[in-house]
Amino acid sequence: MPQKIIKSRVNLLGKYKGVVFGKHSLRVVDKLSSRTIKYSDILGFCTIKRSIFGHNLQVTTDNGVVVISGLSHRKIIPQFHAINRTIQVAIESKITDTYTRFSKAAVGQYLRESTIPDVQAIIEPMVRLFNKTPDAWEIYLSGEPLQKIKKLSELSPISSSANYLRELHVSRVLNARKNFYDSIESNPLTEEQRLSVVQHDDFNMVLAAAGTGKTSVIVAKTTDILERQLAKPEEVMVLAYGNAAAEELRIRSKERLKAANIHHYDLDKQISTFHSRGFQVIAAAQKQSVEEFRKLNMSWLVKKPALLEFINNWLVTFIEESEENLNTFIETVYYAYNPFLSESEEAHQEALKGKKYITLNGVEVKGYQEVLIGNWLFKNGIEYVYEPDYSNRLGINIGFPYRPDFYVKPVEGAISDQIYIEHFGIDREENTRADINKAKYNQGIKDKKALHEKMETDLVDTYHYDWCEGNLEAVLEAKLRALNVVPKPISKEEILDAVRKQDFIKNAVNELSETLSAVRSEAIEGYEIQRRLEVADIQNARSHMELIEGLRQAYVGELRSRNHLDFDDMILLATQYLKEGMFKPEWKYILVDEFQDISVSRWNFLMELLKASGTSLTVVGDDWQAIYAFVGGKLEYTTRFQNNVGNHALTKLQKTFRYNNSIADTAGGFVMKNPEQYQKQIVTHTQVDSSEVFLIDNHDANEKDPNEATLNAVEKAIKEIYADDADASIGILTRYRKSQTAAAQRFTKKRGFKNMKFWTLHGSKGLEADYCFILDLNQGYFGFPTERKENEVVSALMPTVDMYPHAEERRLFYVAITRSKKRCYLVADPKEPSEFVLELLSPEYKINIVSEHFTPEKLAARKCPNCKTGYLKPKKGERGTYVCSTGLGCLTEAVECECCADGLAVKKSRYGECLTCKAKFQLCPRCKSPKITRLGRYGVYVACSGYKGEENEDSCKFRDKLSPKVKGKIGANERIPYSGIL
């Protein structure tokens, strides 16, 4: 371009007097100086605007916008077009460079959430210039450069177009790598699996339902990263939950790499457990070899027997150290339950399931406040009888059964030898527990007081509000002293002997081992322990904290004094070293298997590993199979992944080749009742027209042992399977190891039973068989779902957001059902069916109910009429007596009906009534056992079936004459019918 000078016609407002156009630059001049601008430094096309003083030329550079005003239209227009034609080449070059860098960052690799600002920064300058003057760019650009800048403008902001760009990248990779994805596994990877392999966001979650090939994804993704040279082998890490899972991944990777003819990679070093990787971090931080470090530093306490011995020795030393420590320990022995927190009878029963309250002198009482009274009496040398028969003790008939809470045995100097203690459950406003009739209960208190006054027996009354106010023991002592019952405290050694006799130490050792594991896994101590206990309304939180913290300090002190590590330290100490910068992680890709079971300490370790720049994390798991909360697994890290890490890539593996649609629908529908679980639509390769989930019973008239009856039912079904499928594999799944052992002993000894595996439900994860039988589907402490209460203290220390009833047991049931490839058998006891079985009876599940014993009519005949949730089952040790399957909470009792074959007669207030035939019979007014006839010296008379001999203190000695209405109509040893007037 030849040099051309254009002067401003006016300079009233503008800074510059004119502009000189040269070959490679332009120069703007004013009165005192000039400024040169290279055409290559101009960021966008120049623009002109007309004003009343002429034309204004606008030039944009890195240093801002230059405006030369008042230029002649005739002179500036040719130069304006010429300059834009000149800088067109530079702009096209910049567009090409920008587009190339953009394509590499946004399409050539998976666009990560963290790189979006960087990609936006690449295109922002050019896009901003284009968007300011798009018409000018349309004039001077054409073809490919124009299309590129328009495309970049459309894609801006990148945060809005990120998913489109990711899809573009994924599509290109899937096409280019099709042969690899077709051959890396024995079957071509599914569409969902392929997507899981190629997504490399900062955070990636793969939800893999049972049998959908999560291991295939891990092996394929790791290999794909190396094959595409996204990272070096030492920059890739796969973390497995345990040794078995890690070894399975190693074996599987070897098999698949060999089958795919890939021989230049060995993934063994990339695969490890959390613990072993943590150990490597610690060893490296301490500048030792892993082998030498392990040999010198692994603690003997990692072995369970050694740990229990350590805790036992520490606890004995602790309680022997002082009386204060002994009392602290005793306060932690019992579940301090406040009955007023229960809003219904069912809630009250649920709270007490599996709970027993044994006093220091070995007496089983009904509740926490009663155990406090019993222990106070024992520690103060006051002997007592728990719930004596008031009528028997006085040798009178008061017309109704009455058992005061405690009878104080005669004490020298006391004003009476008939002193009773009643603990009444009311507050100061005479309110009762929510499900108890307030008026009736308070009238009962008045009646009992009146009875004691009438019979001239002394009643010491204490109340629920005494306990709430912290005065229960003080009130009890004051009232006993008023009756000249003076406490004579026994020695600390005597209390220690009592503690030892009742197995309190043994039980506490097992619970403290769980508690120690919890605080180590959660990485908490001191006040935080107490705070969590208080948040969970754990009574005596400070005593619990002092015991737990004392043990924790002693345990950690033992480790540190020997420079030893335990399994928790492998992760906790590694995390600490990472935080302190003693080890610099350099992994670019981290994959985690079984992520649904990750604990707090593992999560913290993982977050420290991710602090290396540019690391991508892929977690693979199934929230439906989270079954390890009892060892610290935190499902919310999976279900609340978005809350923890923000935006991430989510893929659901929903196609399974293991089981059929019937099993998928039943298991999936069941587990998704919990709204906390991810919703998935499982697609099965195998389709069937009818249900392959069978419900069979263990009803066997010739077998009294329900466990043997269950195995009989299983044996019968297996023989039927073999008749149609001789080579079938059989899996026997049990909730408890005892049942697993019994099944294994039964079938391994029998000829003709082959291809059989015996698994606990937890041990079955990842395994499969053609036909599976799920056992232990009954109610109770050893039922499924288990009604064993978790250790409340441990639960408080390991809080969870998953509050759905039996949430983890439901997931365990899902795991159990999905072990079956062809058919799943649920073997249940119709006399006490599992809550899960009752739910599956609903038509929505469409299971195949083979048994006739699960009809509504049959179930109703055994349903507890009081609590509405339990079933009446045989009481151990008392033939013919039945109790509610819910356990301690519901006290319903029944006996076999003599009028019909199958019925059970429930004891009511004045009579017993059969649930089936409605026949009624009389009950003893003292103890509510059935009245029966006995043959005496003078003929038939009425007695109580609760008679256990003259010397037995618990024996009911009720007797009465036989009513004339039934005299001669009834023989000896028969129950007496109830007509409503007898």
* One-letter-per-residue 3-state SS of 280-320: HHHHHHCCCCHHHHHHHHECHHHCHHHHHHHHHHHHHHHHH
Instruction: Give dist(CA 353, CA 630) in Å, integer.
Output: 19
Q: CA-CA distance, 218 to 139, in Å (whole number)? A: 53
Closest CA to 174 of 151, 192, 201: 192
Report whether 214 belongs to an annotated binding site: yes
Query: 826 by DSSP, 3-state: which?
Result: strand
DSSP state of 39: G
**What DSSP letter does each residue of 827-866 carry, written as one string?**
EE-TTSB-HHHHHHTSGGG--EE--STTSHHHHHTTB-TT
Token reading at 543: 């005593």
Alpha helices in 903-968 (DSSP H): none
Q: Does the annotation place 818 within a ligand binding site?
A: no
Element spanning 721, H or E: helix 706-724
Burial of 462-476, coded b for 16+ CB within 10 Å and e otherwise, reads: bbbbbbeeeebbebb
Using a 10 angstrom Cβ sphere, with 0-12 exposed, 13-18 middle and 19 or more buried, the burial of residue 836 is buried
Between CA 379 and CA 91 the distance in angstroms is: 95
CA 709 to chain centroid: 33
CA 569 – CA 550 distance, rounded (Å):
18
Contact 683, 653 (CB under 8 A): no
Q: Any binding-site annotation on 208?
A: yes
Comparing CA positions, the residue from 336, 368, 302, 328 lying closest to residue 549 is: 328
User: Is 213 within any annotated ligand binding site?
Assistant: yes
DSSP state of 559: H
For 734, residues 6+ apart whose C-beta sits below 8 A from its C-beta are 740, 743, 758, 759, 760, 761, 775, 776
Considering only CA atoms, which of 331, 286, 292, 660 is closest in space to residue 473? 331
User: According to the annotation, is 260 in a ligand binding site?
Assistant: no
| Torsion angle (degrees, nearest 10) of CA 806, 809, 811, 817 | -130
Strand-pair partners of 960: 942
Residue 210 marked as a ligand binder = yes
Alpha carbon separation from 655 to 63, 383, 533, 599, 920 (Å, rounded): 58, 68, 43, 28, 58
Establish whether the linkage from the previous residue to 489 is cis, with ω within 30° of 0.
Answer: no
215 is in an annotated binding site: yes
Alpha-carbon span 917 to 640, nearest angstrom: 54
Residue ranges for the known binding site for ATP are 208-215
Residue ranges for the known binding site are 208-215
